[in-house]
Amino acid sequence: MTIRVLIADDQEMIRSAFGMILGTQPDMEVVASVADGESAVEQARRLRPDVCLLDIRMPALDGLEATRLLAGPGVDTPLNVLIATTFDLDEYVYRALRNGACGFLLKDMSPALLIEAVRAASTGTSLISPAVTVRLLSKLAPARQPGDSTVDRPLPEPLTDRELDVVKLVANGHTNDEIGAKLYVSVATVKTHLANAQRKLAVRNRVEIAAWAWRTGVVSG
């Protein structure tokens, strides 16, 4: 069960380097190697490789648009797309991921990482260059900073199960009335839980409660 890879990059050098790296793996095979976005989309649709390794800067159609055409929302049978680029711009990362890419690599990565990324992509999972990951993380969890007071040490007073239920619903934008209805309790109860949670989390209103819930991952997207 070999992993079939399509490589798209306008630089001949890069294409052959990637080809050589992947060629060292017995279970990987480069099925196409093209120099522009239009050919990439064309070949990808015809050959349906397990992984499409796309550069961003390409003639005719850039890698981000190509990604959207191959893996974006609305595509019925999306392919696994891995973006590899020299340019480490947030804008690129976001657009790539939103367009359905399942990986974002910088060209200064090690060969071993490329191989791991391709392997991950072939199963639809994601792997992102360390340097990029650091920045993505900083958006999820503020970066480590000496003297930072907003630490995530375990709460001195942990939330009870019921409080957590209420907090989750608050984070989803529900009013106290709705929460009461959903949990089959009165509004008074909801308010009690909320007040307690508010005290325990040391926050001032429900928006901050919701913020805590989003930050810590108690609720998700």
Q: Is 133 in the site for DNA (CB under 7 A)?
A: no
CB of 40 to DNA, least distance (A): 30
* Binding flag, residue 162, DNA (CB under 7 A): yes
- Which run of H or of E encompasses 128? strand 127-128
Tell me which residue of 21, 74, 84 sits closest to 52, measured CA to CA. 84
3-state class (DSSP) for residue 206:
helix
Under the binding rule (CB under 7 A), the answer on residue 200 touching DNA is no
Report 123-142 residues binding a second copy (CB under 8 A): 125-128, 130-131, 133-142
116 binds a second copy (CB under 8 A): yes
Q: Which strands, in side-by-side order, build the sheet including 81-85?
A: 28-34, 3-8, 51-54, 81-85, 103-106, 127-128
Q: What type of residue is 5?
A: V
First to last CA, the chain: 35
In the shown chain, the binding pattern of residues 176 to 195 toward DNA, with x for contact by CB under 7 A and - for none, equals xx--x--x-xx-xx-xxxxx
Site string for a second copy, 162-191 (x = CB under 8 A): --------xxxx-x----------------
Strand blocks (E) in 55-101: 81-85
1 binds a second copy (CB under 8 A): no
Q: What is the largest CA-CA distance in the chain?
A: 68
Residue 8 or 102: the one with the smaller Cβ distance to a second copy is: 102
Residues interacting with DNA, by CB under 7 A?
160-163, 175-177, 180, 183, 185-186, 188-189, 191-195, 198, 204-206
